[in-house]
Amino acid sequence: MTIKKIKEELNSADSPVAKSLHHGTGFKVLMMGFKKGMILIEHKAHVKSKLTVLEGAVIYKEESRVVELGQYDEVEIPVEITQSVEAIEDSLCILSQGAS
């Protein structure tokens, strides 16, 4: 139901919609939904993370690189580096954080 809720909320959202899919000791998995043009503003990850695109396409930006990600592409997100994500299509992503 998490993905359905995200898609419903995106109909009236002005910014990305994120919800917890699963979490435990030392890790969490978030689902993130974007409408085309939405931006997850600059921020820093405080734990090891990976962004995977399930639907659509996004641009992942950090201090020294820009990576375009399509369906099923993924990127490792370094700790304590300023980064952002911009949707170039309506998109659904998984963000996994924590112990690997």
Strands 82-87 and 39-44: antiparallel
- Residue 56's contacts (CB-CB under 8 Å, 6 or more residues apart) are 34, 36, 70, 71, 87, 88, 89, 90, 91, 92
- How many CB atoms are closer than 10 A to CB 27? 14
State the pTM of this model: 0.90
The tokens for 94 are 């998984």
Looking at residue 64, its pLDDT comes to 87
Reduce the DSSP state of residue 8 to 3 states and report it: helix
pLDDT tens by residue, 2-39: 899 999 999 999 999 999 999 888 899 999 999 999 99
